[in-house]
Amino acid sequence: MAAAAPFSRAEEEGPSVSLAPDHRTEWGRQATPRRASRWIGFCFIAPLLAFLALVYVIPFLGVAEWSVTLPKPGIGQYERLATDPLVLSVFLRTFRICAIVTFVSVTAAYAIAYVWVRGTLLQRRLTELCILIPFLISVLTRAFGWLALLSSRGLVNTWLQASGLIDSPLQLARNEFGVVLGMTHVLIPFAAFPLASAMRSVDERVLLAARGLGASRLRIFWRVFLPMTASGLIGAALIVFVFTLGFFVTPAILGGGRSIMVAELVYLRMFQSPDWGLGAAVSVVLVLIVGALMAALFRFARPAMIGGGR
């Protein structure tokens, strides 16, 4: 259905396509520098491509080989992966945490992005600071910061006990709650950027028009603003989900070895128990899932990322 728009444009440009013969030489001349500049462009990104191949693609192919050769050739590790209750429970937990983190951080980021884009000047500046400052602090530092707040002798529990609200410390870290909280904190900015970009591309006059047609603020939000920023929502959700799937540092620290996620499982199989074959198989599956989601991201939500809006 989107094909109709380019069609009408082509129709308008129709007459100008007929080129006089003398124009053709000019086109021919133009082709040379254009082709050359394309190669120069490749030269610029070549080191990056080479680096990616050397550091990621080749080692990953090695890992993929392990998954079908260790300890013996065959797809035995993948069969294990599909049947082993421990592995399955880790995958299940990972998806559950991913879903919760995605929902919470995208919802929070939507509200934050709204103030960031449509608030007063002071609100916008403050939001910017609140997004950017944590963004610049290392993930590791922030995880330990949360631990200092949430552990059983952490600040929160100390305060609550001192004020007499609770008798024994609450279990805030070293469980899924801590993991979700820590990851949400890290991922909110990643969701806020595409959302803010989608919101910026909403034409103010469209909202005015809705108001002029008699719509209440609530209706304008649900029927106009939210649908117009939907591409940003999809993009933000996919980004957060992909990040969460492969997250290692935050869950490892705030999960305290109890709420193991997939990335940590790979680490454990590789470094703690000599079970390289299974670790490799889990890695391959993880990369495939992430790859599929990234493809979806570029397919559906690219305009919002780049700022094109609709």
218 lines the binding site for other proteins (CB under 8 A): no
Report the residue from 14, 21, 85, 214 that binds other proteins according to the rule CB under 8 A: 214
Nearer to other proteins among residue 29 and residue 205 (C-beta): 205
Q: Least distance to other proteins from the beta carbon of 6, Å?
A: 10
Report the residue from 205, 218, 272, 299 that binds other proteins according to the rule CB under 8 A: 205
Q: Which stretch binds other proteins (CB under 8 A): 15-23, 107-115, 219-227, 278-286?
A: 219-227
168 lines the binding site for other proteins (CB under 8 A): no
211 lines the binding site for other proteins (CB under 8 A): yes
216 lines the binding site for other proteins (CB under 8 A): yes
47 lines the binding site for other proteins (CB under 8 A): no
Q: Least distance to other proteins from the beta carbon of 208, Å?
A: 6
Q: Least distance to other proteins from the beta carbon of 102, Å?
A: 23
Amino acid at position 102, single letter: T
Q: Least distance to other proteins from the beta carbon of 203, Å?
A: 6
Q: Least distance to other proteins from the beta carbon of 115, Å?
A: 22
Report the residue from 23, 38, 124, 219 that binds other proteins according to the rule CB under 8 A: 219
Residue 15 makes CB contacts below 8 A (sequence gap 6+) with none
206 lines the binding site for other proteins (CB under 8 A): yes
Q: What is the DSSP string of the chain?
A: -TTHHHHHHHHHHGGGG---HHHHHHHHHHHHHHHHHHHHHHHHHHHHHHHHIIIIIHHHHHHHHHHHHSSSSSSHHHHHHHH-HHHHHHHHHHHHHHHHHHHHHHHHHHHHHHHHHHS-HHHHHHHHHHHHHHHHS-HHHHHHHHHHHHSTTSHHHHHHHHTTS-SS----SSSHHHHHHHHHHHHHHHHHHHHHHHHHTS-HHHHHHHHHTT--HHHHIIIIIHHHTHHHHHHHHHHHHHHHHT--HHHHHHHTTTS--HHHHHHIIIIISS-HHHHHHHHHHHHHHHHHHHHHHHHHSHHHHHT---
Report the residue from 17, 20, 213, 218 that binds other proteins according to the rule CB under 8 A: 213
228 lines the binding site for other proteins (CB under 8 A): yes
Q: Least distance to other proteins from the beta carbon of 206, Å?
A: 5
- Taking the C-alpha atoms of residue 200 and residue 204, their distance in angstroms, rounded to an integer, is 9
Residue 216 makes CB contacts below 8 A (sequence gap 6+) with none
Q: Which of 175, 179, 191 is nearest to 250 (CA)?
A: 179
- Taking the C-alpha atoms of residue 128 and residue 142, their distance in angstroms, rounded to an integer, is 19
Q: Least distance to other proteins from the beta carbon of 225, Å?
A: 10
28 lines the binding site for other proteins (CB under 8 A): no
224 lines the binding site for other proteins (CB under 8 A): yes
Tell me, by CB under 8 A, how many residues bind other proteins. Answer: 24
Q: Which stretch binds other proteins (CB under 8 A): 36-44, 48-56, 169-177, 206-214?
A: 206-214
Nearer to other proteins among residue 130 and residue 224 (C-beta): 224
121 lines the binding site for other proteins (CB under 8 A): no
Amino acid at position 310, single letter: R
Binding site for other proteins (CB under 8 A): 1-2, 4-5, 8, 203, 205-206, 208-216, 219, 223-224, 227-228, 230, 310
